[in-house]
């Protein structure tokens, strides 16, 4: 099944929210606040939103859940179990630092490191801890949605609660750098890159 990926920049710190489509089925990954353009596109194209998938539980990656569910109430929310304390408690997910505490208390489905069926989609899940305990990368065909683990020319912060820099670098080496070099990486912020490019030139691994 071929999956098309469309990026929308949302929320207070320019989070990449991704809309994945196959036929008329769709998934929304990491919706931050201000998802009106996402919702408008889905409605204009007549898509069915089957699920919201979170790469991790920092506030800027799930602020938009209420807005999405207002329009698509049947969408399931998927997140790794180790991220539940973050999405449930504003003091853990960073939203308090922005002066607008936010938490999500609704039902969730658990992401695990395996190949999982989410609605009409088959998703490869890689557990990539280090930026946060339950951070995950999502694999579709030749694409990797890396969350805040791996960026173009950088890696995620590890100075938040639950972060571990050494673990993050090891997770990237063992879980992401084993992917084909032509795999396109769609990060949680900034522009896309490839696995091969990051293996060759990312300064955190150049040594």
CATH number of the domain bearing residue 37: 3.60.15.10
Q: What is the pLDDT of residue 36?
A: 97
Q: What is the pLDDT of residue 2?
A: 85
Q: What is the pLDDT of residue 30?
A: 98
**CA–CA distance from 179 to each of 59, 124, 127, 155 (Å)?**
28, 12, 14, 17
Tokens describing residue 31: 């919706």
**Which helix (H) or strand (E) covers residue 118, if one does?**
strand 115-118
Whether 106 is in a domain gets the answer yes
Dist CA 37 CA 67 (whole Å) = 11
Q: What is the pLDDT of residue 207?
A: 61
- CB-count burial class (<10 Å; 0-12, 13-18, 19+) for 120: middle
Whether 170 is in a domain gets the answer yes
CA 99-32-143 angle, 5° bins: 140
Whether 64 is in a domain gets the answer yes
CA 153-194-77 angle, 5° bins: 95
179: closest CA among 134, 149, 204? 149
DSSP state of 149: T
How many residues in total does the chain contain?
Answer: 207
Whether 161 is in a domain gets the answer yes
Contacts with 200 (C-beta within 8 Å, 6 or more apart), sequence order: none
- Which residue matches tokens 């919706």? 31
Q: What is the pLDDT of residue 160?
A: 87
Q: How many domains does the chain have?
A: 1
Looking only at Cα atoms, what is the longest distance across the chain?
Answer: 49
Whether 135 is in a domain gets the answer yes
Q: How many CB atoms lie within 10 A of CB 116?
A: 17
The alpha carbon dihedral of 200, 57, 160, 162 has a sign of: negative
pTM: 0.97
Tell me which residue range forms the domain holding 190.
4-201
Q: How many CB atoms lie within 10 A of CB 117?
A: 8
> What is the three-class DSSP state of 40?
helix
Whether 22 is in a domain gets the answer yes
Q: Which residues of the chain have pLDDT under 70?
A: 1, 207
Strands 154-155 vs 150-151: parallel, antiparallel or unpaired: antiparallel
15: closest CA among 194, 190, 159, 192? 190
Whether 69 is in a domain gets the answer yes
Whether 206 is in a domain gets the answer no
């Amino acid at each position: 099944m071929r999956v098309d990926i469309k990026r929308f920049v949302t929320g207070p710190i320019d989070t990449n929210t991704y809309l994945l489509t196959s036929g008329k089925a769709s998934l929304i990954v990491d919706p931050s606040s201000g998802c009106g353009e996402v919702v408008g596109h889905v409605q204009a194209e007549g898509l069915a939103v089957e699920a919201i998938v979170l790469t991790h539980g920092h506030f800027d990656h799930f602020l938009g859940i209420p807005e999405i569910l207002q329009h698509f109430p049947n969408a399931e929310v998927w997140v790794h179990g180790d991220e539940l304390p973050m999405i449930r408690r504003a003091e853990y997910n960073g939203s308090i630092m922005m002066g607008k505490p936010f938490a999500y208390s609704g039902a969730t489905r658990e992401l695990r490191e395996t190949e999982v069926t989410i609605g009409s989609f088959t998703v490869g899940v890689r557990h990539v801890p280090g930026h946060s305990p339950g951070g995950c990368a999502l694999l579709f065909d030749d694409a990797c949605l890396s969350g805040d683990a791996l960026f173009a020319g950088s890696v995620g912060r590890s100075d938040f609660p639950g972060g571990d820099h050494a673990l993050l670098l090891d997770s990237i080496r063992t879980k992401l750098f084993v992917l084909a070099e032509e795999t396109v990486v769609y990060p949680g912020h900034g522009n896309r890159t490839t696995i091969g490019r990051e293996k060759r030139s990312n300064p955190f691994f150049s040594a």
